[in-house]
Amino acid sequence: MVLGKRSDYGDAKYAGVQVPFSDDIPKTVESYGLCGFDFVVAPLVRESWRPPAPAVLDNGALPSPLERSDCLYINSSQWANQVVGAVSDWIQPDAANPALRQRSVTALKTQLGWAAHLGLQAVVMPPPHAPGRCPNYAGVLNQALQSLTHMALWLTVPLVIPTPTPAHGADSGAAVSAVAGAGGLDGWEAWHQVRAQCDHHNLLGAALLVGPTLPSPASLKRWAGEPVKALLLPTAVFSANKRGYPVLPKAHQELVAAFFRLGVQVVITGEACHAVPPPAAAAAAAPGAKQVTPAPAAAAAVGPGGEPLGFTVTDPGESHPLRPYWEYLCFLFRRLEVVCEQERQEASYRDYLQVPLQPLQDNLESQTYETFEKDTQKYTLYEEAVFRALKDRQAAEAAAAGPRDPFDPANATDAPAASAASTSGRPVVLMVVGAGRGPLVRASMRAAARAGARLRVYAVEKNPNAVVHIQHMLRTEGWSDCVTLVSADMRHWQAPEPADILVSELLGSFGDNELSPECLDGAQRFLAPGGISIPQSYTSFLAPVTTHKLHHDVKAYKDLEHFETPYVVRLHRHYLLAPTQPLFTFVHPNTDAPIDNSRYDSLVFSRDPADGAAVLHGFAGYFECALYKDVLLSIHPPSHSVNMFSWFPIFFPLREPVYVPAGGEVGVQVWRCCAPHKVWYEWALSAPVAGPIHNVNGRSYWVGL
C-alpha cells in the first residue's frame, strides 16, 4: 500500500520492512503487505548458516553449499519484486583471522550468487566491519558487480560510525571527523572508499542507517548527490508521544522528508518497541470524536496526534505491531509542502541530459518554440523591461524639450494629444532580432500600450518556418501597419533605419553559450547613438557539484566526446560543494575596440571543514541577466526568477570523479575560445588535484557560427 498518491511528487512513495528469516516468504510478504509495507528485506540464509569447509571432491561432484531449509526460497518471479535480500551480518571479508576472512569471502560470494539466481531486484549488504580499511570486501563486491546485469547492491552505511575502542582496533583507517560529532566517524568516508574501489559502479548504492545521533545538517546535504537507495530506520530511533504513538525527533523528521523529496524509500528495521492503543480505541479517543463503538472490521486511521489520515484500516493488517510506524511514515509524506507550478513543469526533465541548442546552425521546430512560449514569466519580464525603457525615453525627451509654454496654443488641453512616443512625434523604432514565432513582439506591443507609446517594429527572423507564424500573428492582431516582418539573418541584414531599442532572446543556460555575444555585437550596428539593448548585460556563474546520476549517464557512452560536452539539465539529485561564483560577463552595446569575446578565468572555491569530504563530478553553471536596469532575469539560485522555466542549468562533467577532502579547496580554469566559424569552452580542474584540459580546440563540442 503506497504511503500516498500525490501528483506533485510524481510516483507514489513506498516503504519496506526488515523481517526475520522465513521458510515461507510468500506468506511473509502477504502478512506485512496487509500491514501496509510494499516490500520486505529478508535474510538470504539462516543466521546459523555457514559455508561448508573445503573438501576434496570425487568424480567431478559439485555439491551446493546451500540446503533448501537454510536459504530464502522463491519459486516464482512474481515475488522477486517484493523481496530485497539481506546478506548475513557476521561476514567479515577483512577480518584479521585468516580462517574467518576466507569463510566470509566464500559466504559472501555464495549469498550473492543465490540472490542473483532468484532474480531479486536488490540485496542489502552489511556495513564494513573495518570502515576505511576493507579491500577484500570491496574486491568481492567489485567482482560480483562485473557479472550482474540488473540486481543492485545496497551497502549499509551508518550515518555516524561509533569510534572503535582500542580493544577492537582503533586504527581503523577511517577519518575521525567533526562532521559526525564527538566520538564518531564520518560514514560518508567509509562509503566513498568502497564505491571508489568499485569504480563508482552504477549498481552499487547506499542504504543509509539512521541512528539516534545525526551528523551536522551541512554534511547531510552531501547525500543528495549520491546514489542513496534507501533509508534504514530502526524502531529504536522513534520515541513515544503522549498518546503512545511512535514519532521521530525534529531533525529525523526533516531528514526523512528531504529523502522523500528525492524519491528515496524508507525501510523500518527492528521489532516494535512502542505500546500503541488499537485503532478502534485510538479513533474513539481522537479530539472531537463521538463516543460510539466503531465496527470491529474497520476504523479510521489516525496520525500520531490523533489527526485523521484520510483512509480506513481493516483487519488483520492494522493490528500488526509495526502498523503505527507505517502510519507515521504516511503522516510525514502527506504533510510535505505542495510543489510549485515551476517544479511540476520541470519534473519530467529532472537529471535528463540534453545537448544545448545550436539556434544559428539549426532551425528550431515549432514544438520547441511552443515550449519556450509557455514560460509566461519570462515574457512578463521582457515586457517590463521594454516598458521601462520606453518611459525613460519619454522622460529624457521631455526633459530635453524644456518646459511647456502654457500660452502656446499647441499645448492647450483641448488640442489633439501629441504622440507619447517622442517629442519629435515619430514612433520609437524597436527591432526584435531572433523573433522566433513572435512572443517578444507581443511583449513589446503590450509594453507600448502601457506606456502610451507608438512603435515601429522590425521583427527579424532567419527561420523561414517561424516566419509563417509571425505572419499569422500580424494578421490576427492587426499589427501589419506597425510591424515589419524581415525574413533574414540578423548578421547580414541591412536595416533601413537605426533602432532606438534592440530586443533579443538569444541567451543560453550559461548566458553566452548560444552565441548571444556574437549575434548582438553584430546587430548593435542597428542601434542609433544612445540606443538601448535589451538585454543590457549577463553574467555566468559556476559551482562544483556532486551528481552521481549525471556522471554515470555520461560515462555510459564510453567515449571521450561525451565527457567533453556541456549539457543542459534540470539538476535534481545533486549537491553543490560550495556557493556559486561569477565567471564571464558580457555587456551590450559592446564598446570595446576591437571586440573580443574570448574569455579566461580561474576560480577557487573554499569549503567549510564542517561540511565534510565530498566527491566532485563536474561543475554546474547558471546565468543572471539584467534586461534593463534592475529588471533581472535569472536562473542563478540566489536570484532565480520566480516560476520561470525556459532555461535549466548547464553541467560541465569531469572525466573522473575527484575526492575533495574536508575543508579542501576546489579550483577550476575555464576558457571561452573563439574562431572564425565556431565558439567552444575548455575547462580543467586545478585543485584539489590538477586534471586534463577538457575539449581542447573544441574537438568534442562547439557552437557553430
Q: How many CA atoms lie within 13 A of 395 on its CB side?
A: 7
Q: What percentage of the chain exceeds 90 in pLDDT? A: 68
| DSSP codes of every residue in 98-165 | HHHHHHHHHHHHHHHHHHHHHT-SEEEEPPPSSTT--HHHHHHHHHHHHH-SS-EEEEEEESEEEPPP
Are 157 and 264 spatial neighbours (Cβ–Cβ below 8 Å)?
no
Pairing relationship of beta strands 265-269 and 15-18 according to DSSP bridges: parallel
Q: How far apart are CA 336 and CA 452, in angstroms?
A: 46
Q: Average pLDDT, stretch 350-360?
A: 86
At residue 3, does pLDDT exceed 90? no
Separation in Å, CA 146 to CA 164, 413, 451: 33, 87, 67
Catalytic choice (318, 384, 505, 564): 505
Q: How far apart are CA 444 and CA 588, in angstroms?
A: 19
Note the pLDDT of residue 589. Answer: 95
Look at the alpha carbons of 446, 447, 452, 455 in this order and tell me if their dihedral is positive or negative.
Answer: negative
Q: What CATH code is assigned to 537-704?
A: 2.70.160.11
At residue 621, does pLDDT exceed 60? yes
Note the pLDDT of residue 419. Answer: 39
Find out whether 242 is annotated in a ligand binding site: no
Higher pLDDT, 625 or 396: 625
Are 679 and 662 spatial neighbours (Cβ–Cβ below 8 Å)?
no
Which residues are paired to 624 by β-bridges?
539, 634
What average pLDDT is seen over the chain? 87
Find out whether 489 is annotated in a ligand binding site: yes
Note the pLDDT of residue 52. Answer: 84
Expressed in percent and rounded to 5, the helix, strand and coil fractions of the chain are 30, 25, 40
Count of beta carbons in the 10 Å neighbourhood of residue 584:
22
Q: Residue 280: enclosing H or E segment and its boundaries? A: helix 279-285
C-alpha cell of residue 251: 531533525
**Tens-place pLDDT, residues 555-601:** 999 999 999 999 999 999 999 999 999 999 999 999 999 999 999 99
Cis amide bond preceding 535, omega within 30? yes
Residue 551 one-letter amino acid: H
Are 286 and 305 spatial neighbours (Cβ–Cβ below 8 Å)?
no
Q: How far apart are CA 303 and CA 308, in angstroms?
A: 6
Note the pLDDT of residue 6. Answer: 57
Buried b (16+ CB within 10 A) or exposed e, 116-132: bebebebbbbbbbbbbb
C-alpha cell of residue 561: 566526446
At residue 410, does pLDDT exceed 80? no
Q: 10-272 and 537-704: same fold?
A: no
Confidence of residue 482 (pLDDT cuts 50, 70, 90): very high
C-alpha cell of residue 511: 548566458
* Secondary structure (3-state) at 221: helix
Note the pLDDT of residue 198. Answer: 95
C-alpha cell of residue 668: 577550476
Q: For residue 142, how far is the Cα from the chain centroid? A: 28
Closest CA to 80 of 2, 5, 150, 156: 150
At residue 623, does pLDDT exceed 60? yes
Confidence of residue 361 (pLDDT cuts 50, 70, 90): confident
Domain ranges of the chain: 10-272, 366-505, 537-704
Q: Residue 17: enclosing H or E segment and its boundaries? A: strand 15-18
At residue 10, does pLDDT exceed 70? no
Q: How far apart are CA 86 and CA 42, in angstroms?
A: 6
Which residues are paired to 428 by β-bridges?
455
**Tens-place pLDDT, residues 253-267:** 999 999 999 999 999
Count of beta carbons in the 10 Å neighbourhood of residue 281:
12
Q: How far apart are CA 211 and CA 116, in angstroms?
A: 30
Backbone dihedral angles phi then psi of residue 147, each to the nearest 5 degrees: -100, -5
Architecture of domain 366-505 in CATH? 3-Layer(aba) Sandwich (3.40)
Catalytic residue list contains 189: no
**Burial grade of 411 (CB within 10 A; 0-12, 13-18, 19 or more):** exposed
Pairing relationship of beta strands 650-660 and 567-568 according to DSSP bridges: antiparallel
Residue 661 one-letter amino acid: P
Note the pLDDT of residue 380. Answer: 96
Find out whether 171 is annotated in a ligand binding site: no
Q: How many CA atoms lie within 13 A of 84 on its CB side?
A: 25
Q: State the pTM of this model.
A: 0.88
Residue with cell 528550431: 364
**Tens-place pLDDT, residues 167-222:** 444 444 444 455 655 456 889 999 999 999 999 999 999 999 999 999 999 999 99
Catalytic residue list contains 514: yes
Q: How far apart are CA 591 and CA 573, in angstroms?
A: 42
User: Where are any strands of DSSP class E within 392-521?
Assistant: 428-433, 455-461, 483-487, 499-504
Q: How far apart are CA 304 and CA 269, in angstroms?
A: 19
- 584's CB contacts (< 8 A; 6+ apart) are 511, 512, 539, 540, 599, 601, 670, 672
Are 599 and 584 spatial neighbours (Cβ–Cβ below 8 Å)?
yes
Confidence of residue 521 (pLDDT cuts 50, 70, 90): very high
Q: 364: which DSSP letter?
A: P
Note the pLDDT of residue 120. Answer: 93
Alpha helices by DSSP H, listed for 433-463, are 439-451
Closest CA to 286 of 272, 275, 300: 300
Q: How far apart are CA 323 and CA 315, in angstroms?
A: 11
Confidence of residue 290 (pLDDT cuts 50, 70, 90): very low
Note the pLDDT of residue 307. Answer: 58
Find out whether 405 is annotated in a ligand binding site: no
Q: Residue 600: enclosing H or E segment and its boundaries? A: strand 599-605
Note the pLDDT of residue 185. Answer: 82
- 589's CB contacts (< 8 A; 6+ apart) are 520, 524, 527, 531, 533
Is 10-272 in CATH node 3.20.20.150? yes
Catalytic choice (189, 327, 384, 514): 514
Confidence of residue 132 (pLDDT cuts 50, 70, 90): confident
Are 351 and 561 spatial neighbours (Cβ–Cβ below 8 Å)?
no
Find out whether 369 is annotated in a ligand binding site: yes
Residue with cell 521546430: 365
Find out whether 378 is annotated in a ligand binding site: yes
**Tens-place pLDDT, residues 70-85:** 899 887 777 778 999 9
The 3 state secondary structure assigned to 20-74 is: CCCCCHHHHHHHHHHHCCCEEEEECECCCCCCCCCCCCCCCCCCCCCCHHHECCC
Q: Average pLDDT, stretch 225-229?
A: 97
Backbone dihedral angles phi then psi of residue 162, each to the nearest 5 degrees: -55, 140
Q: How far apart are CA 427 and CA 390, in angstroms?
A: 11
Note the pLDDT of residue 577. Answer: 98
Look at the alpha carbons of 352, 356, 359, 363 in this order and tell me if their dihedral is positive or negative.
Answer: negative
Note the pLDDT of residue 413. Answer: 46
